[in-house]
Structure 1
Amino acid sequence: MSDEYPFSITGPEHKGPWLITCDHAANRVPPEINNGSLGLPADDMNRHIAYDVGAKGLSLALGRHLKAPVLCSNFSRLVIDPNRGEDDPTLLMKLYDGSLIPANRNADAVEITRRLEAYHRPYHAAYAKLAASDPAIVAIHSFTPQLVGRPKRPWDIGILFADDRRLADPFIARLQARGDLTVGINEPYDGHLPGDSIDRHALRQGRLNILIEVRNDLIETSKDQEVWAALLAPLLQSALAEVQSHPPSQG
């Protein structure tokens, strides 16, 4: 797919038990949005407010290890956030972690609808098609070590879940058993938001799911991303095998 497309799918031929997704894979601003600029300096576009640093590389590496298709967005979360429901007030951010987003400042309902139609909805249509075979969904994100004016975040990795803990619990147990990781449980955020990607494509259909957040300074390079993928893949496979052999009730 060309760079102009709002998403990419890597490994669509894989038909195994997994689907890897990366909602915040890119910091790209399409040329039709304010001539390809949100009015932010490069330093802001290269930090966590514009995309999840390192998450795409980790997603692709994990897809190779698990032989799974990988869905990545191809537009900045500041253009419109694919991990928000269409009625979420943070769908289009005008201020994020201390930075004003000039090109979003005067965006009205017409502009939001235009961005939904061009980027958000095509991404979710592709997501729904890939998820139709009911794979276990692994959503990959990254988090910044410290927000402006906030304390440093101590976690190496965070595992997020809502009411469905079937895959999260055995996976967390395996992470903690290693003894060398600081694991956040619903940290640095609490669970999921109504209408977000996991809610929309996993929870409402009863699909196994997990959302993994890795601290972005730990996955900055392709080597780091490969190390983390090699760490996570066997733990995910083992957790899924446990769920399949002793299926718990959902919730």
Structure 2
Amino acid sequence: MTDHPPFRIDGPDRPGRWLITCDHATNRVPPEIGPDLGIGPEDMARHIAYDVGALGVSRELGNLLDSPIIHTDFSRLVIDPNRGEDDPTLVMKLYDGTLIPRNRHADDAEVERRLALFHRPYHAAYEALCETRDNVVICAVHSFTPQLKNRPRRPWQVGILSAYDRRFTDPFISALEASKTLQAEAEKIGERLVIGDNEPYDGHLPGDAIDRHALHHGRLNLLIEIRSDLIETAAHQAHWAALLAPILQDTLTETGL
């Protein structure tokens, strides 16, 4: 057991259909792991440690959609809650050019300890929230870095990830692409609106959070990735939540799902 819960829930009794999730919410290293992971503050502030800006967007979406939000409170470098228990990237030893010293020698026993302390409690709470709603819609919020080391800059402002259940994904992507508000938002920063469909990476990993809590149960779902340079401040996070919330709700209403 830990003295500090590995997850937090906002508004568990809110009546909305949505469940907003944020798997990579913080860069906190719990004391059970150590004072740090052997990398410096600059690396801990990067996307390798958490999804920059995603928690603020998630909380604002929860407020605007009057729905609960669940988020982790440990770094993805401690153990990645958006990976299945047998995924080889569950405890990352090297990420975007950075070696993680405290993870280099993590053996099976250490991985099991981290699963028990952080990963499994989060997923148990996640599933319990899903089960309180017969018609829950899971909306997972993530962010992606504008550019990986030695890679081209990513052109998408928003990416929508999905697997084979595209009931909500397809109409939502269409609504985003048709949004004049989002088009104007892109023009403000000298870009054209580019919505990624399973970009900047494929949207399905067996055993990941959406696979586990949505696909295996037939629950309506989508995963939103927002480019992190667009949501670095609290004001920008609130702004993007305000852009996305009505499109989410209108799509749900118009599709009758």
TM-score tier by shorter-chain length is: over 0.9
Letter in 2 for 1:36: P
Q: Paired residue for 2:136?
A: 135
Tell me, in whole angstroms, the C-alpha distance in 2 between the residues paired with 1:243 and 1:25. Answer: 30
Letter in 1 for 2:154: R
Which stretch shows the higher mean deviation, 90-99 or 180-189? 180-189
Offset of 1:242 from its aligned partner? 2.4
After TM superposition, the runs of 4+ consecutive aligned structure 1 residues lying more than 2 A away are none
8 Å CA contact 1:146, 1:153 repeated in 2: yes
8 Å CA contact 1:143, 1:216 repeated in 2: yes
Q: Paired residue for 1:72?
A: 71
Which stretch shows the higher mean deviation, 71-80 or 177-186? 177-186
Offset of 1:36 from its aligned partner? 2.4
Tell me, in whole angstroms, the C-alpha distance in 2 between the residues paired with 1:151 and 1:28. Answer: 29
Q: Paired residue for 1:236?
A: 248
8 Å CA contact 1:3, 1:74 repeated in 2: no
Q: Paired residue for 1:7?
A: 7
Tell me, in whole angstroms, the C-alpha distance in 2 between the residues paired with 1:223 and 1:77. Answer: 25
Offset of 1:243 from its aligned partner? 2.7
Tell me, in whole angstroms, the C-alpha distance in 2 between the residues paired with 1:110 and 1:129. Answer: 27
Alignment RMSD = 1.2
Check if 1:222 corresponds to 2:234.
yes
SS in 2 for 1:159: strand
Tell me, in whole angstroms, the C-alpha distance in 1 between the residues paired with 2:231 and 2:15. Answer: 27
- TM-score, length-scaled by structure 2: 0.93
Offset of 1:3 from its aligned partner? 8.0
List gaps (5 residues or longer) in structure 2.
184-192
8 Å CA contact 1:170, 1:242 repeated in 2: no
Deviations 1:194-246 (A, max 9, x none): 000000000010000000000000000111011111110010001111232xx
Percentage of pairs with the same residue: 64
Letter in 1 for 2:214: A
8 Å CA contact 1:18, 1:135 repeated in 2: yes
Q: 2:223 aligns with which of 211, 216, 220?
A: 211
